[in-house]
Amino acid sequence: MAERALPNAVEGTPVGDLGRRLARRRTELGLTCGEVAARAGLAPSYLRHLEEHPGAAPGTGVLLRLAGVLGTTLNRLTGGDVDLPPGPGRAARRAEFTELDAEECRALLGTHGVGRLAVSTDEGPVIVPVNYSVVDDAVVFRTAPDTTPARASGRRVAFETDRIDDALSQGWSVLVRGDARAVTDPDEVRRLGERAFSEPWAGGRRELWVRIESAEVTGRRITV
């Protein structure tokens, strides 16, 4: 299978990102490597090569076939939208809006690792992104004492996470409202460290755990 440089529209893709994006999108759709390869007319071994080798650079035709099979766009598959906010795609003609029940909301909440925390401060409301986990039906995250997320402790807050698929103009969001508190009990701190899977992307010493008890959970989904 011939390989060549990516076209101008997708130049600048970080090395290794293509394989990671291929594997992630395939996993999101619940497809095996063999299934995607068969639908795209590729050898499974070649698709595994693309996913596992950072230097792989397939031709535009291969990328377009893979994007079609994976229900995405060439730009998104190659990371061309990495610095763009979600949502520039046009609405679908036959979009359907539905409310999610509490069980589905909690299931979706548990699959993510980044959400937005809304907290009221003396200067006004603030919304910041945080890496989070769900432990015992509560949203937990780790931060530093002098940060904006730390100011959530002792307040009623809102927390939102979502997934937006620009390629198909669909997605979902889950909203949690509840009371936040700093975790100070050493046993609970140790237990959260063992059970939480998400590490703060911001780095540095972030040893303050904050827990949000989900008093109210709602969600919505847009499908095509």
Residues 73 and 100 in one domain: no
User: What is the number of structural domains in the chain?
Assistant: 2
Cα three-residue angle 156-101-108, rounded to 5 degrees? 75
Question: Which residue, of 21, 43, 77, is where some domain finishes?
Answer: 77
121 CB-side CA count, 13 A: 15
Residues 115 and 169 grouped into a single domain = yes
Query: Same domain, yes or no, for 107 and 189?
Result: yes
C-alpha to C-alpha distances, 12 to 2, 3, 25, 79, 80, nearest whole angstrom: 20, 17, 20, 9, 8
Residue 53 is assigned to a structural domain of this protein: yes
Cβ contact 178:212 at 8 Å? yes
Residue 89, domain member (yes or no): no
Query: Is 165 domain-assigned?
Result: yes
Residue 2 lies inside a defined structural domain of this protein:
no
CATH number reported for the structural domain that contains residue 26 in this entry: 1.10.260.40
**Do 106 and 213 lie in a common domain?**
yes
> 65 burial class (0-12, 13-18, 19+ CB within 10 angstroms)?
middle
- Does residue 83 lie in a domain region? no
Both 127 and 165 in one domain: the answer is: yes
Q: How far apart are CA 213 and CA 172, in angstroms?
A: 22
Structure tokens at 210: 């904050």
Which pLDDT belongs to residue 12? 39
**Predicted TM-score (pTM) above 0.85:** no
119 and 24 in a common domain: no
CA dist., res. 101 & res. 61, Å (int): 42
Bridge partners (DSSP) listed for residue 121:
124
24/107 same-domain check: no
Parent domain of 104:
96-223
Q: Quick check: is 133 in a domain?
A: yes
**Residue 154 covered by a domain:** yes
103 plus 189 within the same structural domain: yes
User: Does residue 128 share a domain with residue 206?
Assistant: yes
Boundary (domain end) residue, out of 17, 45, 77: 77
- Whole-angstrom Cα distance, residue 73 to residue 65? 10
* Contact criterion met (CB below 8 Å) for 59 and 18: no
> How far is 183 from 186, CA to CA, in rounded Å?
8
Query: Are 146 and 203 members of one domain?
Result: yes
Instruction: Give the CATH number of the domain where residue 182 resides.
Output: 2.30.110.10
Each residue's pLDDT expressed in tens, for the chain with a length of 224 residues? 444 434 333 443 434 588 888 998 898 888 999 999 999 999 999 999 999 887 788 888 899 999 899 988 887 788 766 665 666 566 667 778 899 999 999 999 988 789 999 999 888 999 999 999 999 889 999 999 989 999 999 999 999 999 877 666 788 999 999 999 999 999 999 999 888 877 787 878 888 999 999 889 999 998 87
For residue 85, the model assigns a pLDDT of 61
Q: How far apart are the first and last CA of the chain?
A: 35
CA dist 169 and 222 (Å) reads 8
Are residues 61 and 125 located together in one domain of the fold? Answer: no
Asked if residue 90 is part of any domain, the answer here is no
Residues 105 and 159 in one domain: yes
